[in-house]
Chain A
Amino acid sequence: MTSPRRAPSPTATIALISLPIFIGALDLTVVSAVLPHVILDLEIPLQTGLDDAAWIVTGYLLAYSISMTFMGRLSDLHGRRRAYLASLAIFALGSYLVASADGWPTRLALRSYYSLASGRPDPAYVSLWMLVAARMIQAFGGGAMVPVGMALVADLYPPERRARPLGVIAAVDTAGWVVGHLYGGILVRFWDWRTIFWLNLPICLLAFLLILRRLRPDVPTAERGRMDWVGAALITAALALLIIGLGAGGEGGESGFSGRQEGLPRYAGPAVAAAVLLTAGFVWRQRRAKDPLLHLSLFRSRNFSAASLANFLTGFSLFIAIANVPLFINTLVAATPAQGAWDSGWMLSALTVPMAFAAIPGGWLTERRGYRATAALGLMLAILGFALMTGWDAATSYASMAPHLVLTGIGFGLTLAPVAAAVVNSAPPGQRGAASSLVILFRLVGMTTGVSSITTYGLQRADVLTARLLPEGASLAEMARVGMQVAERVIGETFWVAGLICVFALAPVLLLRTAAREREES
């Protein structure tokens, strides 16, 4: 006779699932530090290959977002533990493929090509696309772990006690992707970039075995039904096209061998339009499906809708800071690119580390003061931080920048837990997985929209300002001076935009009600 396995405490469960979530999130940004090494190692040309190499980051973000759309729902139907272990295994497989992408996967792809067509595909690009594909597999597992983990935690606590543990998960997730660039930067100083991904394997194996052994097996949830694969396909295609279309903002126009064309690539507009149509198709499908992926009735809850919108806007604003602080340092402050990478890694930590830590008191405050007060306080701190950042110029010292970044980081950190808790608490138990997915998904879509639109804005604005400020027949020294002036002004303007987006985010946050009030109303 076997003795019944004792379930671990909720705290132990959080600890068990936190490590893989941390690693998965870490790998979202770890490549920002190692990307130059990867590009050089794979021999990707600077002029033509940088846009393609950006897919190492964008592809991860895309697959990370896509898996969130339905893995949470799959966990509602098939059990959290099973879904979590499957996600972890996919993440580990992806990590292995990333580490070996330019080895046997590239050789296999080339051999397959030769058996089908003539010509000589460039092995550098074949390796690059193998790496992108492997990163997407990795992200598919990594992205799924967050909502499934959140739903797993939410199952363990009553609604009024969920904010703090959800805050911990949000903090772990945020801490992962915010320290990713530092972790990557430190590792590649001593080892090959592939080491980052090889290191994931023993960690994943350990986590897999511990969860398999320690976490109690799934109990059937009240939720019954089937997976809406049509809905999943529609939202997947919509997200993919949205990211491809918005990501085109940073690319140049199409060109032939002997000529160049300026402007956006031709596919940008149709891709975004198709994404909007597919989203409409997804909504239509969700209204009619017997077992929808996402119960649209969730949006009838004021807290759910308001918190989702706030999440989108904070993601938008946050990524402007994450993208433009390194840009500011590299363009205006650091003497060399290597120094710029190192300095911006550390300076960005002044934003991201306080953000991760502030998520924990954010959960504690939410339990005492409610969603609205905590999130509003956080947003106001972030607005103040951005306002201070608009005053930066090339002469601003790191010591002066750091407090502004800390303030902004604490602001975002305080906002994470109440917004996440407001969404998850609005969902019935059988839909918590799907609701948890949306918490992260809205933030990620906000981030993608933010970075893409701000890149497009920045490039256009820089062109206008350069044309206005650069005298005819300018010397190289004048060009450099105007370039610095334009960069300073454009980056400053983007910080204003980020602050303004936080002001917009205050509107839905002020609509949030306490969990008890929300239940009474519903």
Chain B
Amino acid sequence: MDRGVAPQMVLLAAVALSACSPAPTPDLPVDEIVSRSAGRMRSMPGFHFLIEREGASAFLDPQDTLSFRRAEGEYASPDRVQATIRVIAPGMVAEISVISIGAVQWETDFLTGEWQELPPDWGFNPAVLFDPESGIQAALVEDLSGLVLLGTEELEETPGQRLYHLQGRFAGERLYAVSYGMIGPEAADAELWIAPGTFEVYRMILVEPGEEEDTIWTIDFWDFDQIPEILPPILGDQPAE
């Protein structure tokens, strides 16, 4: 290659790359990274989420028969969530669909698949879990302590994207309240993966110590800023009011 052209090509490539990549982030203190990240997640109009539980069981009911396995769904700000929750019952695996709009929540019947409205304050409500003011987003700023930046790394699910990898400790009281007793109330070790530049949280891992086995919660977020259409379900032949 012509020696005169090479530096220009490099410069051009650098300009092109800087146009495609997130704006370079200056070296920020970890508290600042998390604070910006919480602000970003709070202001987001919508996202897709996946919550997975591994290790010791976490039960959804007082009789300890329905163990939470995973929930995948969509959130639309400020208070709409639709999700499919997978539970493990003795001898079978089942899925329940849930729609939450404000304080009203509907769920599909375990056996018939028919939608039904749940009584107020019935229990676990994903809309509460992702409430911008009191849910996970708020917990990011208020409940995390002992934060350490471990470096940057890629997640298998987002190849080619370097993310901040942070470690800290979550106070469990808020999570205990917003998860209706499924997570917490003891403090849990936490790891976070946050995108430099955009400060979107891609993954949170919480490790709750257990008597025999730890419970590991992995919460993933993607499709940031996409607003899903979340409507009341059809009850019988009529859409719910």
Binding site for B on A (CB under 8 A): 39-40, 43-49, 110-111, 114-115, 118-120, 122, 257-260, 337
State whether A258 touches B115 (Cβ < 8 A).
yes
State whether B92 touches A46 (Cβ < 8 A).
yes
Q: Which of A45, A119, A258 contacts B94 (CB 8 A)?
A: A45
Specify which chain A residues have a CB less than 8 angstroms from the CB of B231 in the assembled complex.
Answer: 258
Closest to A39 in B: B93
Closest to B158 in A: A114
Task: Give complex CA distance A91, B93 in Å.
Answer: 31
State whether B233 touches A258 (Cβ < 8 A).
yes
Closest to B99 in A: A258
Closest to B237 in A: A259
Complex A-B: 15 CB contacts under 8 Å: A43-B69, A44-B93, A45-B86, A45-B94, A47-B94, A47-B113, A111-B156, A119-B222, A257-B82, A258-B82, A258-B97, A258-B231, A258-B239, A259-B233, A260-B114
Known: A258-B99, A259-B233. A43 touches B88 (CB 8 A): yes
Please, what's the 1-or-0 string for B38-74, where 1 marks a CB less than 8 Å from any CB in chain A?
A: 0000000000101000000000000000000100100
Closest to A48 in B: B95
B91 within 8 A of partner (CB)? yes
State whether A45 touches B72 (Cβ < 8 A).
no
State whether A114 touches B94 (Cβ < 8 A).
no
Task: Give complex CA distance A433, B94 in Å.
Answer: 47
Closest to B83 in A: A257
State whether B234 touches A45 (Cβ < 8 A).
no
Specify which chain B residues have a CB less than 8 angstroms from the CB of A40 in the assembled complex.
Answer: 91-93
Q: Which of B93, B115, B156 contacts A46 (CB 8 A)?
A: B93
Task: Give complex CA distance A388, B195 in Å.
Answer: 71
Binding site for A on B (CB under 8 A): 48, 50, 69, 72, 82, 86, 88, 91-95, 97, 99, 113-115, 156-159, 220, 222-223, 231-234, 239
Known: A40-B91, A120-B72, A259-B233. A114 touches B113 (CB 8 A): no
Please give 15 more A-B residue pairs, beta carbons under 8 A apart, in addition to A120-B50, A260-B234. Answer: A40-B93, A45-B93, A46-B95, A47-B113, A114-B157, A118-B158, A119-B222, A120-B220, A257-B233, A258-B99, A258-B231, A258-B232, A258-B233, A259-B233, A260-B113
Specify which chain B residues have a CB less than 8 angstroms from the CB of A46 in the assembled complex.
Answer: 92-95
CB distance from A489 to the nearest CB of B (A): 23
- Residue among A39, A46, A118, A122 with max Cβ neighbours from chain B (10 Å): A46
State whether A258 touches B234 (Cβ < 8 A).
yes
Task: Give complex CA distance A260, B48 in Å.
Answer: 23
Q: With contacts defined as CB atoms under 8 Å apart, how many contacts are there between chain A and chain B in the complex?
A: 60
Task: Give complex CA distance A44, B70 in Å.
Answer: 12
Specify which chain A residues have a CB less than 8 angstroms from the CB of B115 in the assembled complex.
Answer: 258
State whether A118 touches B222 (Cβ < 8 A).
yes
CB distance from A338 to the nearest CB of B (A): 9
Specify which chain A residues have a CB less than 8 angstroms from the CB of B157 in the assembled complex.
Answer: 114, 120
CB distance from B127 to the nearest CB of A (A): 15
Specify which chain A residues have a CB less than 8 angstroms from the CB of B222 in the assembled complex.
Answer: 118-120
Specify which chain A residues have a CB less than 8 angstroms from the CB of B234 in the assembled complex.
Answer: 258-260
Specify which chain A residues have a CB less than 8 angstroms from the CB of B92 in the assembled complex.
Answer: 40, 46
5 pairs of A and B residues whose beta carbons are closest in the complex: A258-B233, A45-B95, A259-B234, A43-B93, A46-B94
- Residue among B88, B97, B157, B233 with max Cβ neighbours from chain A (10 Å): B157
Task: Give complex CA distance A44, B88 in Å.
Answer: 10
Closest to A44 in B: B93
Specify which chain A residues have a CB less than 8 angstroms from the CB of B114 in the assembled complex.
Answer: 260
CB distance from B213 to the nearest CB of A (A): 18
Specify which chain A residues have a CB less than 8 angstroms from the CB of B97 in the assembled complex.
Answer: 257-258
Task: Give complex CA distance A258, B229 in Å.
Answer: 11
State whether A43 touches B86 (Cβ < 8 A).
yes
Specify which chain B residues have a CB less than 8 angstroms from the CB of A115 in the assembled complex.
Answer: 159
Specify which chain A residues have a CB less than 8 angstroms from the CB of B94 in the assembled complex.
Answer: 45-47
Closest to B88 in A: A43
Task: Give complex CA distance A337, B90 in Å.
Answer: 13
Closest to B115 in A: A258
Task: Give complex CA distance A114, B72 in Å.
Answer: 17
CB distance from A146 to the nearest CB of B (A): 35
Specify which chain B residues have a CB less than 8 angstroms from the CB of A44 in the assembled complex.
Answer: 93
Task: Give complex CA distance A47, B87 in Å.
Answer: 12
CB distance from A335 to the nearest CB of B (A): 15
Specify which chain B residues have a CB less than 8 angstroms from the CB of A49 in the assembled complex.
Answer: 93
Specify which chain B residues have a CB less than 8 angstroms from the CB of A258 in the assembled complex.
Answer: 82, 97, 99, 115, 231-234, 239
Specify which chain A residues have a CB less than 8 angstroms from the CB of B88 in the assembled complex.
Answer: 43
State whether A119 touches B95 (Cβ < 8 A).
no
Known: A40-B93, A259-B233. A119 touches B48 (CB 8 A): yes
Known: A45-B86, A45-B94. A114 touches B232 (CB 8 A): no
Closest to A111 in B: B156
Closest to B234 in A: A259
Specify which chain A residues have a CB less than 8 angstroms from the CB of B232 in the assembled complex.
Answer: 258
CB distance from A122 to the nearest CB of B (A): 7
Specify which chain B residues have a CB less than 8 angstroms from the CB of A111 in the assembled complex.
Answer: 156
CB distance from A178 to the nearest CB of B (A): 27
Q: Which of B48, B72, B158, B233 contacts A122 (CB 8 A)?
A: B72
Task: Give complex CA distance A119, B202 in Å.
Answer: 12
Task: Give complex CA distance A237, B95 in Å.
Answer: 34
- Residue among A39, A115, A120 with max Cβ neighbours from chain B (10 Å): A120
Specify which chain A residues have a CB less than 8 angstroms from the CB of B158 in the assembled complex.
Answer: 114, 118
CB distance from A210 to the nearest CB of B (A): 43
Task: Give complex CA distance A110, B91 in Å.
Answer: 27
Task: Give complex CA distance A45, B86 in Å.
Answer: 7
CB distance from B156 to the nearest CB of A (A): 6
Q: Which of A39, A114, A260, A337 contacts B156 (CB 8 A)?
A: A114
Closest to A120 in B: B50
Closest to B69 in A: A43
Specify which chain A residues have a CB less than 8 angstroms from the CB of B220 in the assembled complex.
Answer: 120
Specify which chain A residues have a CB less than 8 angstroms from the CB of B99 in the assembled complex.
Answer: 257-258
Task: Give complex CA distance A47, B114 in Å.
Answer: 12
Task: Give complex CA distance A114, B154 in Å.
Answer: 12
Task: Give complex CA distance A67, B155 in Å.
Answer: 41
Task: Give complex CA distance A337, B97 in Å.
Answer: 26
CB distance from B99 to the nearest CB of A (A): 6
Task: Give complex CA distance A48, B110 in Å.
Answer: 11
Task: Give complex CA distance A518, B50 in Å.
Answer: 68
Specify which chain B residues have a CB less than 8 angstroms from the CB of A259 in the assembled complex.
Answer: 233-234
Task: Give complex CA distance A45, B97 in Å.
Answer: 12
Task: Give complex CA distance A257, B107 in Å.
Answer: 11
CB distance from B65 to the nearest CB of A (A): 15
Specify which chain B residues have a CB less than 8 angstroms from the CB of A39 in the assembled complex.
Answer: 93
Specify which chain B residues have a CB less than 8 angstroms from the CB of A122 in the assembled complex.
Answer: 72
Specify which chain A residues have a CB less than 8 angstroms from the CB of B156 in the assembled complex.
Answer: 110-111, 114
